[in-house]
Amino acid sequence: MAQIRELLEKLDPAERALLKQASHELSLRYRTGSYEEKPLSKFERYAYLLTRLPATLAASAEVFLELKDRALGFSPSSLVDIGSGPGTASWAAQDLWPSIKEVQLLEKDQEWIKLGQQLAKSHSLIGQGKWIEHNLMHNLPIEAADLLVASYAFQELPLNRLLALVPELFLKTRQALVIIEPGTPKGFQKIQMLRDSLIKQGAKILAPCPHELSCPMQGSDWCHFSTRLARDKIHRQLKDASLPYEDEKYAYLIAARDIIAVKDYAARVIRSPIKRSGHIILDLCTKIGLERQVIARSQKANFLEAKKSSWGQARENSF
């Protein structure tokens, strides 16, 4: 985003060194799942804009594409961005659905609100959206909307509040609710619990699950997905990275009201396909549970189709 570049041009060399240190601290916090109830420093915020915002933006965009594909004719006019930070998920949603005309952004940190408004000063919808300073430990001060999204918003919430909050969110949802968490075992455990809670509330699960049975993923395994994004020069410098890209792992859930028409599917590819010279192995979550399918080269049509399969892909039929 050009707006972020403008902010960084004002930093002197000493400040850039502090920025790199802040970037390492943010990365450690994300990997360990350790979050403290203290405001971020200016440099931690800038480090987030350069190293975490692109990743969370990419994950949000991938999940929104899945919603658009699954929910036939879905064209939301209103959006609530829960735990918005600088408005990352709102940018992704607006890019995909120009039909959105009203945005509410909830964020407990006043400095993130100020920075988000500054970044969106040339974007009338987000910049002039209804920014609300609010701690998610308290009741929601929002109006109902077609689409609610909580993208990487729940890391700091205790479990009892989280289990009370998500039913509140669904009550405010006119059409679809999207929840995105880090693609870690802890992030997936939250998704599992929230999925059970929403099903009891009458929600329809659109993705990633092809069913509403108990989640078959148990033990040390966890359901998560990945999106690849390019790293620019500054991003690589801050992370001491040599690769020109990074893979963002995420777990997610899309729940909807019955009013949404849904495109059905039979299975989802839950791991990277294992492609051998004579066969391809696909791990799937199907309507009846987990299944591993081995498609031999001799099954010509199925083999060619399986070669096109990718991690996270929804399949309308099994082989």
Q: pLDDT tens digits for 287-318?
A: 999 999 999 999 999 999 999 999 999 998 87
Q: Find the angle CA(85)-CA(32)-CA(140) to the nearest 5 degrees.
A: 35
For residue 28, what pLDDT is reported? 72
Beta strands 78-82 and 102-107, pairing class: parallel
Backbone angle region of 85, left / alpha / beta, with phi > 0 → left and psi within -120 to 50 → alpha: left
The domains found in the chain, sorted by start residue, are: 2-262 (3.40.50.150), 267-315 (no CATH)
> Is residue 4 very low, low, confident or very high in pLDDT (cuts 50, 70, 90)?
low
105-129 residue pLDDT tens: 999 999 999 999 988 887 778 988 9
Please tell me which residue, 118 or 286, carries the higher pLDDT value.
Answer: 286
Q: 157, 152, 208: which is closest to 180 by C-alpha?
A: 152
154-203 residue pLDDT tens: 988 999 999 999 999 999 999 999 999 999 999 999 999 999 999 999 99
Contact 248, 229 (CB under 8 A): yes
